[in-house]
Amino acid sequence: MTDFLGSLFPVRILAQGLRGAALLRLRIEDGEASFSRLVGLIAVTIALQFAMDFYNVGPQGELSPYGLPGLLFKVPVILIAAWALSLLAKRPEATLMLAVAISAIAIPISVLGDLLLWLLGSPLIARNFHLQDSYYLLYAHLAPAWLGLATAVAATRLFDLSGKKVALSVLSGVVLIWFPLALAGGYRTIWAVPFDAESAARERAQQNALLEERAFYSQPRILEHALASLDRSQPDRINLYFVGVAGYSEQDVFMKEVHYVSNFFKARFGTTGRSITLINNPKTVLESPAASVTSLRLALNQVGKKMDTDKDILFLYLTSHGSREHRLSLSFGSMRFDVLDPGVLRKILDDSGIKRRVVVVSSCYSGGFVEPLKNENTLVISASAPDKTSHGCSNEADFTFFGKAYFEDGLRKTDSFIEAFNIASPLIAERDAKEGYEAALPMMNVGTGIRAALNQYTAEQKQLALQRSAPTRAEADPEAQVKQSPISCASCQ
């Protein structure tokens, strides 16, 4: 019985494994080199994984057998490495001893790897995408590389290797342990959050809402109606046309933001009849055209036909996720939309014939759109630098950080799209710092032609506002009110 418990809880071997992980000399007794000890070490590995999973998930979890293959992948890797190193030392009878030693060394190293994985969830790292990427790389390679090196050191000392065999031992650790474990990765969770089939089915249905028959056949009509509803330019003033794009269907924040900006522009800049929104969201499939490269092209072409391209201005707002390759996400379930990158967007804008443009891109890495889109007649604004992420795109939020700072805080205080950026930029920096995020560093490029056009547009807007607020002759002249009152009364009668 004592022997059996010693196999399941091999305390002395675990202590030796800790020494081996620290690259110190370890010693395995003859009686400890047994399959019982090996099984005991595997059991400890499983128990530690279960403990970590239980800590993360809590008692409401359930056993998940899907993590066992990834968790136990290390076992054949260790056995093969032990066999190869024993052959190298011409000690094939010591294969089991070395396998036990490597398995013991692997346990404290795995604990360190799990600690690194836990740190990935800390606020500092979770909010810093670049730091998070570095940690994932460290997590994927540090533990396997360390185990490979510790294995080579242990084999060298246990077998008294020297000369070329030491180098071959290190090479074996790299090829037989580091590479396989780092490349395989693998899902190792064995106590997981219970799978909710109903929620999963509901989520799939929402994300595939565009593929439902009613929505599928309604979308062309919805897009056609939206395009046909655009009004022609008023000849006596500069008209602003608004096109809003919410590209990512799985988070409501982009839809909410485009709805807000569209309504705000109608109230503030009079874009009613000159506004179109393209939205990817399950809630709007029967109301708004979906956001795709094709629908964006059709919308901008229609705007180009309706506006006076010599004087009117387009305000194009795109909000979604973005990639390091500077691709704006146009995503709706399993739909396969064309890629929207700076080159594609520039071509669509040029082909539309629209001359005066304000283009605002709110996404991670959106600064990559600035250089390709800029020209004399374009104002380009991005929520982040080309190599930075923007923040605030949670499903529950009404705005991204940029959207709130630019539209709600900036444009509420000024009619100038340029000045609104100058107001918003320090607010974004302050919020990024306050919440522990890496600075997004929004960008702006203003062409000389669009600056003059926007100044003229702002002056016209102020003049129109004065005209709307100016008193009528009857309000300004009491005698006129008296003279007109009988007519008013007669008309009432």
At 236-256, the pLDDT tens digits run: 899 999 999 999 998 999 999
**Token pair in block for residue 388:** 């930075």
Give the pairing of strands 378-382 and 443-446.
antiparallel
Mean pLDDT of the chain: 87
Tokens 């899907």 identify what position? Answer: 66
Residue type, 135: Y
> What is the predicted pLDDT for the residue at 476?
45
Quick check: 342 and 326 in contact, CB under 8 A? Answer: yes
pLDDT greater at residue 196 or residue 252: 252
3 state SS of 189: coil
Residue (of 71, 44, 107, 73) closest to 187 by Cα position: 71
Residue (of 345, 222, 327) closest to 278 by Cα position: 222
Residue 473 CB: number of other CB atoms within 10 A? Answer: 9
- Taking only the tens place, the pLDDT of each residue in 375-432 is 999 999 999 999 999 998 887 889 999 999 999 999 999 999 999 999 999 999 999 9
The DSSP H or E segment spanning 245 is strand 240-246
Residue (of 348, 239, 343) closest to 291 by Cα position: 348
Domain borders along the chain are: 2-192, 217-468
- Taking only the tens place, the pLDDT of each residue in 210-223 is 878 888 889 999 99
* Beta-bridge partners for 331: 248
Quick check: 335 and 263 in contact, CB under 8 A? Answer: no
Q: What CATH number matches the domain at 217-468, 3.40.640.10, 3.90.1150.10, 3.40.50.1460, 3.30.1540.10? A: 3.40.50.1460
Tokens 């990765």 identify what position? Answer: 185
Q: How far is the CA of 38 from the CAs of 13, 45, 205, 350, in angstroms?
A: 10, 11, 48, 68
- Taking only the tens place, the pLDDT of each residue in 440-491 is 999 999 999 999 999 999 998 888 777 766 554 444 444 444 333 333 333 3
